[in-house]
Amino acid sequence: MQAQSRIPKLQDTTFDGALLWFSEMQCSQLLFHPEDDPADIITIKSGERTFTDSEVQELRFLLNELEEGLGHDQLIEAAYPIFMNALGNKLDA
């Protein structure tokens, strides 16, 4: 039996799709910076890797899809407001 992935589905590779995906990652408490390798993400509380090997492969695939669809700079721009929200910083509209 295959376990259900904790990684949200990517609806599309548009800016809004990336924004939604990062938001869903935050809501699932799985948010990490897209320039970091998901294999290197550690949960501070436990000191263990956050993602399984299969999740790492899935995340690398999704991030590659987003980067191909948006380009590197747009990918980072889509993640930015979600990170600012996660840190409690409010952005001006």
pLDDT, tens only, 40-87:
999 999 999 999 999 999 999 999 999 999 999 999 999 999 999 888
CA separation, residue 32 to residues 9, 13, 49, 93 (Å) = 16, 18, 12, 24
pLDDT at 90 over 80: no
Full-model pTM:
0.89
Q: pLDDT at position 89, please?
A: 80
Tell me what pLDDT residue 91 has: 67
Q: Which residues contact 32 (CB under 8 A, 6 or more apart)?
A: 25, 38, 41, 50
